[in-house]
Structure 1
Amino acid sequence: MERPKMLRVELPETDMFANLVKFFRMSSDEFDESRYEKLLRRARSEDLSEVSGIGCLYQSGVDRLGRPVVVFIGKWFPFNKVNLDKALLYLIDLLDPIVRGDYVIAYFHTLTTSQNYPTFAWLKEVYNVLPYKYKKNLKAFYVIHPTFWTKMMTWWFTTFMAPAIKQKVHNLAGVEFLYSVMAPDQLEIPAFITEYDMTINGFRYFQPAAPT
């Protein structure tokens, strides 16, 4: 009895080659998008109170163009002690609905120490896992009370790891310089920041131009 002949279907070499090219051309963003969706589902279901309770990341009003302002308090971020996995989940949970439109970030480096400094490796991991909308819709990243360390870090990071946001980073020597882009009553920050600011800059050192 003859064995039945197996039907062999061959794809044209051009199709096989095209599929291989398509696979290898997939950007890291496409891979990260799948990972991001998984992280987003976790962020919406897991208990993140141990990170949210720190109070280092939150939304504080809007700027003069109506864009949400996300505040990050560097001194309150215990990088060496916090669960970094949950920290990333909390960041995603907070920012995902915000980054669907334009937004800005105000990072306060006031009185931070080496215990608060994230590593480049972790920053790169966070940057790579966040989808394109985070970078595209970020319109400004303000660093208040910068130091030599923050200036070097932001230059290095935005030059070699995140060039898409390099032109969006602005170093501000005092809190009041923020008032040119957002009203004072829209900014909620800890008392130690305003006290430090008055110590180094004095009172009413900057008067923003009247809105037109």
Structure 2
Amino acid sequence: MTFVAVQMVLDEAHSSPGLHAAAGPGLAEECATLGGCRTGMAKITNAYDLPARKVIHTVGPKYASKYQTAAENALSHCYRSCLELLIDHGLKSIAMGCIYTEVKNYPREPAAHVAIRTVRRFLEKQKDNITAVVFCTTSTTDTEIYKRLLPLYFPRDKQEEEMALSKLPADVGDENGETVIDERKIRIKPLPKKKVSKESKPAEAPVDLPVSDVGSVRRTSSYLDTYLDPAFMSLIKDPDERRLEQWEKTVQAQRGWNFANLLGFGDLGGPPLSAAEEYSVHSRYLSKAKSLNLSEIAEMKVVYRGGVDIEGRPVMVVVGAHFLLRCLDLERFVLYVVKEFEPIMQKPYTIVYFHSASSLQMQPDLGWMKRFQQILGRKHQHNLHAIYVLHPTLGLKLTIFALQLLVNNVVWKKVVYVDRLLQLFRYVPREQLTIPDFVFQHDLEVNGGKGLVVDPRTKYVYHRP
């Protein structure tokens, strides 16, 4: 099998020294004659000492959350330009590295989505001209991301196809894999149907039908298979239909939950999100969080990693008294939580919530909690083992009861109330937790120190002899 290596970037500031060293001096000399390469474009050279016939060079985009769509489309252009050069030079296979760098701040998982969907779109039209596309990863993180995402875009059986329908992001790109911007699409209504006489032959399907509108055509259309894979393209709904459905959901929800605002619960009237919509929202927040410096949120110590619980599940600690609603930028707080929770919620995990001395702090309303839970996504709900609440008050128990009724019955039924620190240590060992000093003091004040002794130096709690 012949492969074409892809050099990730082609400019003086971000060269590929490893590739040049393996290829020999001839590659650098030929690159110097190319006159550079614009972002999203690609150029081809000989491979010299590399075990390949050619080397294709491309320049990946810089990433900024403010210009996310431009970065996505530029990255899509990189992959498509490489594949087009492959076809133009009569080559059949290509080995592609991840065309993004840490220096340019492109988040790994969103970049992988763009890469895979662009290759998928290209193969839908050029599958007879290409024998193999190999994604080459150089880090464990990238490998795990591609292992998880490839079955969504290239399902191998019916079960994986059904899973993909629920986990694919809302935007899977247009016919080239580029991000779809509804406001910029031109939608042309189909021509009125003509009556066809029995004697005349049915007209052939028009060969110039714009593939960008194929998502609004029924999957049973006879000409659909000649353009794109119907199972993949049917994931895209017509933008007007989507807006109408969203409006109907919003109106229906607001009719049922307007009284929640009157009772001070916040806006609970937002429409329920599908699995694909939640995945898309979570991905956007995670992408933005990775591009920002959120150190001021980390310093407040509202949320931080603990060790593991008694059964080895990772623990996330939440300190209620540190949640200062008037001093906290809630949007940046959500971004920080999404970023911190992402590594641990891939598998079963536990939350420990210290409500100690936080009853006087202002708390967010239920509407905010509902939105926050939607952003964390369904993986958070599924993998969450338990929420251990230390020093609960009657007001907190009533709030959690309201969360069970109005927000999510699955997550908030996992709450376990713990009145004493020693009870908490039955679930999470003491050495696995970093506990603020005031929590120990509050425990002594509330429980009167009955049966307990606290070492003031090590903060170790043990039974009174």
TM-score class normalised by the smaller sequence: 0.7 to 0.9
The answer as to 2:371 corresponding to 1:138 is: no
* 8 A contact 1:159–1:166 mirrored in 2: no
Matches within 5 A, 1:200-211: 200-201=446-447, 202-204=449-451
Question: 1:160: Cα distance to partner?
Answer: 2.0
Matches within 5 A, 1:49-198: 49-198=295-444
Deviations 1:95-148 (A, max 9, x none): 000001111111111111443412112111101122211011110001111111
Q: Equivalent residue of 2:411, what SS? A: helix
Question: 1:29: Cα distance to partner?
Answer: 2.9
Q: Distance in 2 between matches of 1:148 and 1:138?
A: 24
Q: Would the alpha carbon gap of residues 89 and 11 (structure 1) be closer, same or farther in structure 2, given more than 3 Å must change?
A: closer
Question: 1:73: Cα distance to partner?
Answer: 0.5
Q: Would the alpha carbon gap of residues 60 and 204 (structure 1) be closer, same or farther in structure 2, given more than 3 Å must change?
A: farther
Question: 1:50: Cα distance to partner?
Answer: 1.5
Q: Equivalent residue of 2:301, what SS? A: coil
Q: Equivalent residue of 1:105, what SS? A: strand
Q: Which moved more, 1:146-155 or 1:165-174?
A: 165-174
Deviations 1:26-57 (A, max 9, x none): 95332121121111011111010111110111
Deviations 1:161-187 (A, max 9, x none): 111123311111112111111211112
Q: State the identity as a percent.
A: 28
* 8 A contact 1:29–1:128 mirrored in 2: no
Which protein is bigger by CA-based radius of gyration? Answer: 2
* 8 A contact 1:135–1:165 mirrored in 2: yes
Q: Distance in 2 between matches of 1:97 and 1:13?
A: 38
TM-score (norm 2): 0.40
Q: Would the alpha carbon gap of residues 27 and 192 (structure 1) be closer, same or farther in structure 2, given more than 3 Å must change?
A: closer
Greater helix content: 1
Q: Distance in 2 between matches of 1:187 and 1:203?
A: 22
Q: Distance in 2 between matches of 1:11 and 1:128?
A: 31
Aligned-CA RMSD value? 3.0
Deviations 1:55-90 (A, max 9, x none): 111111111111111110000011122111100010
Q: Equivalent residue of 2:352, what SS? A: strand
Q: Distance in 2 between matches of 1:166 and 1:57?
A: 18
* 8 A contact 2:278–2:378 mirrored in 1: no
Q: Looking at both structures, which has the greater relative contact order when contacts are Cα pairs under 8 Å and sequence separation is at least 6?
A: 1
Instruction: Indicate the residue corresponding to 1:30 in structure 2.
Output: 276
Partner AA of 1:120 in structure 2: L
Structure 2: any 5+ residue segments left out of the alignment? Answer: 1-202, 210-215, 222-233, 247-271, 453-460
Structure 1: any 5+ residue segments left out of the alignment? Answer: none
Q: Distance in 1 between matches of 2:349 and 2:301?
A: 19
Q: Distance in 2 between matches of 1:190 and 1:103?
A: 22
TM-score (norm 1): 0.83
Partner AA of 1:40 in structure 2: L
